[in-house]
Amino acid sequence: MKRRDFFKTSIVASAALITSSAVAGVTGQPNGTRKVSKYAFPEKRPLITYSDRPPLLETPISVFTQEHTPNDQFFVRWHLPDIPTHIDQNSYTIHINGLVKKELKISLNELKNSFAQVEVSAVLQCGGNSRSAFTPTAGGIQWGSGAMGCAKWKGVRLKDLLQKAGLQSNAKWIGFNGLEKAAYFETPTFIRELEIDKLDEHVIIAYEMNGEDLPYLNGYPLRLIIPGYYSDSWVKMLSNITVTDKYKSLFFMDKAYRIPNNETESETPQKRHKTTKPITVMNVKSVIGYPESGAKIYHHSEVVVRGVSWDGGFGIKKVMVSIDDGKSWEEAILKDNLGRYSYREFRYSFKPTKYGKLNIMSKAINSLGDEQPMSENIGWNHGGYKYNGIQIVNVEVV
Amino acid sequence: MIKLILLTALILSTLFAQVKTEIKVPYMPYEIKMGKGFDAVQANCLMCHSFGYIPNQGPQSRKFWHEKTIKMIDAFKSPMSEEDIKTVVDYLFEHYGNGKEE
C-alpha cells in the first residue's frame, strides 16, 4: 500500500516537471517501475520485455549489485526481425575480405586454436540506456536503467585477424556485418563501419561470455567487443568483415546513434541542432541495484547500498553517496578493480536514524575528474542518448 | 603422451554447444487496441516489428506518429501506400495519442 503511494508520488512529481517546461525538453529519472514479463526467452530468465520480434529485453535493476551480469539476465537488443535460430558451429565461418592481401574464412575451431586467446571485462551499454528519462519522448525504445551489462569476454584480437589477412596500403575503414536480416530486401543491413586507426588491441571478437558460449540472443557464436564504447557497434552473430578505402553511407551509421555535435550534446525539441556526431565513448555513470525505489528499510538497521559504476575506460576514481538529498556526500567503498572497462562495484553502509521518506543517490567520478550530473542538468537530445544522471532511489524508513 | 591426450580433449571440448537444437523465441500477446485502421497496422507494421513497439512510445502527438511512420518508409523502406500511411497515423493517434496535433 505504502509502496504504491510512493509510485503515485513520483508520478505526480514527474508530471509536474513535464508541464512546467515541456518546451525546452526536460530530463528526470528513468522509468524504474517496469516488472519482468512472464515469458522467458531462450537461455534467459524472465526479463523486462519490450518486444519479442525483434527481441528487446531489459535487465532488472536489482541485478546491478554485481560486477558481472549473469548471462541469463543480460540485456538483449536486436534491430531487425529475422535472427537465425540455429547456428551449426562446425560449419560457421567468419569471412575477412575487401582490401586485404588474402581473403580469409576462419572456422570457430580455428579461431579458438590458432590465435592468441584474450579476455577482457567490459561494459556493454546501449547508447539509449535510460532513454525514458527524457521528456518529450525521445525516439526509440523507452529503456529504464537496464539496457546494459558487464561480462568477461573471451576471444581473439581483431588486430591479429587483420594481420593474418594482411591489409592493403589503402585500407581505411572496416565494415562489420552480422546475420540478422530485415523483412524487406531494401531495408538497410545492420552494418557498422569503423575507422581502422581508431581500433586498438582491446577490440576483440568474442566467442565466450562469463566462461560460457555467448547466448544466442547475445550474438552466438561471435560478437564484436569494443571496450569503452556504447554497444551500437558491437555486432552480434558476426559473420563478415570487409575492409574498404571509403566510408559507405549507411542508415545505421548516418542517422541512428547520433547526438548533437555541440559542446553540451543537447538541443531543443523545436530546434534540432543541425549537425550530429556518433555516440562513441561512454560517459561516467553509476546505478544503485539495492535498495530499489519503493522499498522499506528498517529504522536503525545496518543498510548496505550496493551498485555498479563505470565509464569509457578512463577508470572510476570514486563513487559518492548521499542520503540527505545531495546536501552532503560520502565516499563509498570500491571493490577491486577488474580492469578499466569493467563495472566497479561499490557499497555504502549507513543506519537510518529518521522515520519516513529517504532519498539515496550515487555519483561516480572518473580519473579525468568527470562526474555524473543531476538528471535535471542533462540537456535533451532527440535520440535520447548518453543519459548519465545521478540516480535517486526513494525508500521509506519504517 | 598423457599431456597430448589432454590437449586434444581440451580442443574437442570447445565443440560442444550450450544449445544443441534450434532456439524458439516465444510469441507474446500484446494488448493492442482494436479499431478503425487496425488491419493496415497489422499488415504494415508487423512485417518488421511486434506491437510492443507501439505502446512503448507512450501517448504521443499526431506529428510524432506521422514522423515515426515516415521513418519506417524512408529509413527502413517499408512499402506502405499513401492511403495506408494516413490510415496508420489516424489509428495510432486515435488509440495511442495524447490529443495534441503537434
Question: How large is the C-alpha radius of gyration of chain A?
Answer: 22
Higher pLDDT, A256 or A129: A129
Mean pLDDT of A199-222: 96
How confident is residue A3, by pLDDT bands cut at 50, 70 and 90?
Answer: very low
CATH number assigned to the domain comprising residue B38: 1.10.760.10
Average pLDDT, chain A: 93
User: What's the CATH code, domain A71-278?
Assistant: 3.90.420.10
In a domain, B84, yes or no: yes
pLDDT for the residue numbered A61:
98
Residue B101 lies in a domain: no
- What pLDDT is stored for residue B15 in this prediction? 58
What CA–CA distances, in Å, run from A31 to A20, A61, A67, A89?
A: 19, 11, 22, 39
pLDDT, mean of residues A105-110: 97
A182, A233, A346, A328 alpha-carbon torsion, rounded to 10°: -100
Which one of 3.30.200.20, 1.20.1090.10, 1.10.357.10, 2.60.40.650 gives the CATH number of domain A285-397?
2.60.40.650
**Residues A201, A157 contacting (CB under 8 angstroms):** yes
- Whether cis (ω within 30° of 0) applies to the bond prior to A221 is yes
Q: CA geometry: angle at A287 spanning A281 and A288, to 5°?
A: 170
Mutate to test the interface with B, among A18, A31, A52, A92 (most CBs of B within 10 A): A52
Region A317-335: what's the mean pLDDT? 98
Residue entry with cell 523545436: A270
pLDDT at B1: 46
Which of A52, A109, A187 has its CB closest to that of B77? A187
Question: pLDDT tens-digit profile of A166-179?
Answer: 999 999 999 999 99
Split at pLDDT 50, 70, 90, the class of A205 is: very high
Distance from CA of A6 to the nearest CA of B (A): 21
**A176 contacts A117 by C-beta, under 8 angstroms:** no
| Low-confidence spans in chain B with pLDDT less than 70 | 1-15
pLDDT, mean of residues A141-165: 97
pLDDT of residue A325: 96
Share of chain A above pLDDT 90, in %: 86
Domain that holds residue B47: 2-96
Residue B90 lies in a domain: yes
Domain count, chain B: 1
B28 domain residue, yes or no = yes
d(CA A290, CA A63): 9
Domain boundaries in chain A? 71-278, 285-397
Q: What is the pLDDT of residue A4?
A: 43
The answer as to whether B89 is a domain residue is: yes
Q: pLDDT, tens digit, for every residue of A242-291?
A: 999 998 877 788 888 999 999 999 999 989 999 999 999 999 999 999 99
- Residue A18: predicted pLDDT: 45
Chain B nearest-CA residue for A207? B14
Instruction: Please indicate, yes or no, if residue B47 is contained in any of the structural domains.
Output: yes
Q: Which of B14, B49, B79 sits opposite A112 (nearest CB)?
A: B14
C-alpha cell of residue A363: 555519483
Would you list which residues of chain A are within 8 Å, Cβ to Cβ, of chain B? Answer: 37, 39-43, 49-56, 80-81, 83, 85-87, 89-90, 108-109, 112-113, 137, 139, 141-142, 182-184, 186-188, 212-213, 215-217, 220, 251, 255
B68: chain A residues, CB-CB within 8 Å: 139
The DSSP result for A85-154, as a single string, is S---TTT-EEEEEESBSS-EEEEHHHHHHSS--EEEEEEEE-TTTTGGGEES--SS----S-SEEEEEEE
* Rounded Cα distance, A372 and A351, in Å: 25
Distances (CA, A) of A245 to A163, A232, A255, A306: 17, 22, 21, 47
Percent of chain A with pLDDT over 70: 94
A109·B64 Cβ contact <8 A: no
Is B48 within 8 Å of A188 when comparing Cβ atoms? Answer: no
Whether A192 contacts A243, CB under 8 Å: no
Query: A217: distance to nearest CA of chain B, Å?
Result: 9
Q: What is the mean pLDDT of residues A160-165?
A: 97
**Residue B102 within any structural domain of the chain:** no
ipTM (interface predicted TM)? 0.85
